[in-house]
Each structure stands twice: as structure tokens, then as C-alpha cells.
Amino acid sequence: MKPDQLHDITLETAAYRFAALGSEPRLNVLRCIVRAGPEGLSIGELGVQAGLRGATLTHHVKILEQAGLIRRSRKGRSVICAAPSLGEIESLAHFLICQCAPQAHAATLPLKDTPPSENMEGNTP
């Protein structure tokens, strides 16, 4: 994804990706994969970390893959799950912050290099 297109996603794409993340097990799977870094995790390792097995894990991985949030590849006899790039996740966060907030407020929100606790101080919904 090109830097100028990083945050340029459609409402339809955002809704599809948010729907894919709309379950605790899938959000947990994504978290495990992203935390593993660019090398990703084998399906077996992912299952242990996410606390899911068999068809349940496969189901959640498939939905995240269809949404473009993770990718699967083969490495020898193993299936590896990895995040294609953090840009996809950043795009969702940017969409939520900038497209779903009042315009005057969205322009003042810090997007990078500010710890989450500092983002929350003094900002009550």
C-alpha cells in the first residue's frame, strides 16, 4: 500500500473489516498474529496462543484473511499466518478517528507517537 493511500479506504471496506473484527476470538487471533511480528505464527502456535483449535481456529482465520487483515502461506509442511502490513490496521483506526468524529475534533486528534493514556486524558466522549 502506498503511503498516500494508507488511510484511503471506503465505507464498505471499513465496515467489512470491522465486522471481521467484531468477535472476541477473531480480535484475539489478530492480536496474536500482529504481536508475532512479520514472521507470523504457524497454525499450531496460533492455536495455542489464541486458545482455539481445529475448525474453530480455521473459521476465524478464514474470515480475517477474507477481510485482508491477515494472510496465510505455506512454509514446508506448516501453514503460517501473518499480518500483510500494519497499514491495513492503521487504515481502520484512521477511518474510525477521522471519518467517525466531528470534523473539528478529528483534526486535533493525535494519531502517532502519543501513548494511549495521553490520548485519553481530558477527552471525555
pLDDT tens-digit map of 88-100: 888 888 888 888 8
Retrieve residue 16's grid coordinates.
Answer: 467489512
- The full length of the chain comes to 125
Task: Please state, in angstroms and rounded to a whole number, the distance separating the CA atoms of residues 30 and 73.
Answer: 16
Indicate the fold that domain 1-125 takes in CATH.
Arc Repressor Mutant, subunit A (1.10.10)
> pTM score > 0.85 for this model?
no
b/e map of 106-120 (b: 16 or more CB within 10 Å)?
Answer: eeeeeeeeeeeeeee
The CA-atom distances, in angstroms, between 100 and each of 94, 106, 113 are: 9, 8, 21
User: What is the reported pLDDT for 96?
Assistant: 87
> Which amino acid does the sequence have at 49?
Q
pLDDT, residue 123, reads 40
- Asked if 52 and 18 count as a contact pair (C-beta separation under 8 A), the reply is no
- Structure letter (DSSP) for residue 79: E
Collect all residues with Cβ–Cβ distance below 8 Å to 74 and sequence separation of at least 6. 80
* 5 has pLDDT over 60: no
Query: Edge-to-edge strands of the sheet including 71-75?
Result: 41-42, 78-82, 71-75
Check: CB of residue 101 under 8 Å from CB of residue 111: no
